[in-house]
Each structure stands twice: as structure tokens, then as C-alpha cells.
Amino acid sequence: MSNVTRRNFLQGLGGMVAICGLSACGGGSSEGGAASAALSPEEAEAAKAEVRRAIRLLFDRQYICDEIAQANQIPASTFVCQGVGEPDGSDFMANAGRGDGQGYYDVAQDALQANFDEAMEILKKYYTYDEASETFTDFPTMTYLYNTDEGHKAIGEYLQSTLAAIGITMNMENQEWATFLNTRKAGDYSIARNGWIMDYTDPISMLDMWTTESGNNDVQFGKGDHAALAMYNLDLTPFGYETKVENGTWADTFDVLIAAIKTEADQEKRFEMMHLAEDMLMETGCLCPLYYYTMVYLRDAEVEGHFSTPLGFNIFKHATYKDGSINVCIASEPDTIDPALNSAVDGATMLTHLFSGLAKWEKQEDGSFAIEPDLAQEMVEGVENEDGSFTYTYKLRDGLTWSDGKPLTAKDFEFAWKRAASEELGADYGYMFDVIKGYPNELAVTAVDDTTLEVTSSNFIAYWNELMAFPTYFPTREDIVSDESWATDPATYVCSGAYTLDGWKHNSLITLKKRAEYWDADNITMNEINFYLSDDQNNILSNFETGAWQFIEGIPTNEMARVKEEYKDEFHVDPYAGTYYVCWNVNENILPA
């Protein structure tokens, strides 16, 4: 389906119920907020969506990138990040939204005034506007939630000041990382900082997280009051499906769309359907992209062999530095380092050293990245079955062991995948197994014998090999994880990778030691990795400048210009497949009382 055709029937998918006419909603007069209480739940949500879309037009993303973040970020006008290819070789981002390369709104500097004027015209429909002060007087007070970090704080303060200029009060609340994640996940916020790094380089990685039951659905789509709203439309008949829903719930429409995408074998159709999914998300206004990520870090000039993957995992196992020990700081205390439960990039970095799966990311001599076999002997092709499913049969390397010396078998993979996918565990990334037949509770994965693992996908999956390298697909052992606290103490932490968990001083230091029994130990050059745990960016920078730490992420905003100048050989910016954004709680009331 052409981009033009898709735009023509966009309203058939994501168009919300009609919002009340201008006369009923105030028509931009000083009485703009008076009629909001008379709206039906569906009309109220449609109005809130329009307000959220208006507010995202107010922000100067280029200013955020240049003056606050200062790490060569690119202003974002879509949720799915740039650099993700379409079947025809074009960029998914360039075809999104209006299809003119500008996404869902124009982020150019010469569009700022037009964006502002459009936003103000919309807001005047719903809120009382005082012409003398040029401010709104009845927009409910909001609280912006962010995790402790000077950079996040600075961006929040910019958003706060921009809104304050038109009379909207937004308070600031910071929480340490683990608490912040759980607060956002529970929906105990009104508006929050967020960011998403792709789990694999396919747009669905940034779209399927918003299904009703996804553990990463921080917006709360399809939950709480939003679950009952029958206001979304879905028409998949242009793609050859019989599905056509009018005034359905989020579960009836978006969830169904994502399920269809995951079973569609025709890649051109599949990508068009993914554009429709992003259209629907952006129509809600709950996602306010600010910029596409880059990874900025300082690395001691004597450190060689380190690399960061396109998914943002820092890999130190092939690095070299002096006596084979390196001190790094990538984040504060991780929420978990259980492969099934982790949902953070910093936790994933640790897990890619502590655990191994069937496959791994490796950097090639030409600077590109490839998925290579790890515990599997080779990456295999799936065999297509009569029903369109694909069966993959992996052979494990001989002599694999866990860090406690016990044999690692195909049964450990079968257990781990079924555990991570199960409704009982309720893992954030459990949905990543929905590409396997029988998901969630009858997963089609079987240990044929100790070294043979057989798994059947529901259909052809373009990013299958990348899944095999993702931490959620790493093996765990049943007798170990039966103790729920196993992943919090080195004494009970049993892993499968190149390193063991040698020490954990909570909120201070995690120490990894090279494991001699790892199958590829001869190619592991770093003997010890000390992950220092901190979210105090000034302290982090100080430790780098004194030489105490050799690698750090996170540089104070007010130090960025100096650091770039003084540490030209140590300052690095890597591309990063993700988007920094603001998210709204869809159930938060932002209309006048």
C-alpha cells in the first residue's frame, strides 16, 4: 500500500470520536474550560488527546539538543527512531506521520511560531485564557516525574519553564532509578520522563510495548478507566484481512493490530501496518518525542577494544586496560539482574557479561555489527512447516557449564524461556516470546536432549536472530531461580556467561570476574570489571578526572562544553537506536474541573 493511500484511510484506524463543536467547547473564548464536564468519557479522552498533541508543539527540540543535552542528538518528530530500514531501503522515520520526512510535526526552527500558534488555538478551546497576562488560568497542576540525573532535571526544567510561560504549572519530582521505574510502571504519575532503546532493529520493538498487557506500557493504555473507552477504529481490509472495528477499545484495536503485524509474512504490508500502529499511538498525544538518542561517554584513552552495540549495551569483555581490570560507571543500583525481569539498558549491559545465550552481538573489523553464535554451535535457518510456522533446531556447544560447575543443558533454555514468558512471572519482557507458538503458557520450545533445543515460531520473524541475543532469552536454572532472592547476592548468583558475580556492595559497587570455564575464555581479554553505582553526575565526572574510573556515562550539562574541549580523545558519541520522550498517563485528567 502506498504512503498516500495509507494516509487516506488513517482515520479508519486511529481516528478518535468527534470532539464537541467549537461552540460547545468554548471556541477560544475566555470561557473555554466551562463545558468540559459535560463531555462523555470518550469525548473527554479525545479532547485530552488533542490537548496533549497541542502541548507537544510548544517545545523547541533543537534548543534541547544543542543547549541542554549537547551530545549531537537529533530532534525527534516520530516515536520510532531514525535509522530503521524499510523493505525498499528507505528510513521508517522518513515515511512516518505526514510521509514527507518531517514526521508528525515540524521540528525546524522556522516552524516554532506556527507550532506555537496552532497549540494556543487548540488550548483555547478547552481552557480559560486571560488576554491581559496571555496565560491560561484553569489548567490543572501537573507533576513531572524523572529519575535522579542532572541532564534529565535540566530538560524537565526547560519543559516546566515553557509551560509556565503560558500559565501551566508543572512541578518536578525526582526519584532514584529503581523506584522511578516502578512508579512509572504502576501509573502513579501524571507526566514523566521516558526513553526507549530498541531490543532489536525492527520498528515493532518500539510499538508492541504499548499493548494492553505489556509490562512496559507505562502510559497505561487499555488499563484503568482507559480500558472501557470504546472510541478507536481499525480497518485492516485494505491489507486483505476481514478485521474492521468501529468504536472499539484499545484492546479491540491496537492490540489486534500488533497481533496482525506479528503474523504478517508480507514485509511490505507488515511495515505499512507498523506505520498505522505508530499513527494510532501518536494520535493519542501520550507520547511526546524530544530527540533520538546518542550515547555520550568518556573513556580513558588507554582503554581499547570496548564497543557499544546498536541497542546501547556497553561491551567490555574484549577490552584491554593495564592489568586487565577496569572501573566503569554506567548507572546507579540496577532494579534487577535477573535476565527474565530486567527492563533497563544498564542491567542489560551487566547481563551480557554475566550470561550467555544462543547468540551474541559482535563488532566486525569494518565497524559493522553482526549476530554470531555464542552457546549455540551455529545460527540456523528455520524450516517452514505446512501451517506457515518455522522450526529452528539448535545444537549447543559441548561441555558448557554454569558458574557453579554444573552442566548447562538445553533443558535450561526450555525452562528459562517458559518462565520468562509465563503469565505467572509477569515479566516486563515476557511479550517478547509471543512470536513463539503456544505463547504464553504452552511455549513451543523443547529440549530434545541435553544439547539440542527445538523451538517453533508462529511465522517467519525477520529479527529472529536478534531475539536469540537478547538478555530475556538467556538461560536460567530452575533450582537456582526457585529462590526469589537469587539475583541479589553473589553467594546465590549462578550465571552462564564470561564472568561471575564476584561482589555486590549494594548502591556502591558490582564486581565481575572472568570465568575460566567459559567456552570462549581465551578471547576474553578483560579479567575484572568493576561497575560503580552512582547517579551523581558530578561525582561520576570527578572520579573519571582523577583517574579512579576509566569509563563513565552521564556528563553534567553545565560541564559538557568544557569536557568536550578538555577531553577530545576521551569524549565519544555513538549512535543509539532509541528515542528520548515524555509520556503522559492516559488516565490523568488534564481538563478543567
Give the model's pLDDT for residue 578: 94
267-283 vs 250-263: helix crossing angle, rounded to 10:
160
Q: How many CB atoms lie within 10 A of CB 314?
A: 25
pTM given for the model: 0.81
Query: Residues near 330 by Cβ (< 8 Å), separated by ≥ 6?
Result: 314, 346, 349, 531, 551, 552, 553
Give the model's pLDDT for residue 428: 85
Which domains are seen in the chain, by residue range?
12-226+284-292+579-584 (3.10.105.10), 301-535 (3.40.190.10)
Residue pair 525/318 in contact (Cβ under 8 Å)? The answer is yes
Task: Report residue 449: phi and psi, to 5°.
Answer: -155, -170
Start-to-end CA distance of the chain, whole Å, equals 44
Residue pair 172/146 in contact (Cβ under 8 Å)? The answer is yes
Distance CA 307, CA 423 (A): 35
Task: At 190, list the grid cell.
Answer: 501524571
pLDDT in tens, the chain (593 residues): 333 333 333 333 334 443 332 223 333 344 455 455 689 999 999 999 999 999 999 999 999 999 999 989 999 999 999 989 899 999 999 999 988 888 999 999 999 999 999 999 999 999 999 999 999 999 999 999 999 988 999 999 999 999 999 999 999 999 998 899 999 999 999 999 999 989 898 999 999 999 999 989 999 999 999 999 999 999 999 999 999 999 999 999 999 999 999 989 899 999 999 999 999 999 999 999 999 999 999 999 999 999 999 899 999 999 999 999 999 999 999 989 999 999 899 999 999 999 999 999 999 999 999 999 999 999 999 999 999 999 999 999 999 999 999 999 999 999 999 999 999 998 888 989 999 999 998 999 999 999 999 999 999 998 999 999 999 999 999 999 999 999 999 999 999 999 999 999 999 999 999 999 999 999 999 999 999 999 999 999 999 999 999 999 989 989 999 999 999 999 999 988 999 999 999 999 999 98
Residue pair 112/578 in contact (Cβ under 8 Å)? The answer is no
Give the model's pLDDT for residue 11: 36
Query: Residues near 196 by Cβ (< 8 Å), separated by ≥ 6?
Result: 206, 209, 216, 578, 579, 581
Amino acid at 138: D
Distance CA 92, CA 368 (A): 20
Residue pair 183/189 in contact (Cβ under 8 Å)? The answer is yes
Degrees, nearest 5: CA angle 41-47-50: 145
Residue pair 406/191 in contact (Cβ under 8 Å)? The answer is no
Give the model's pLDDT for residue 230: 98
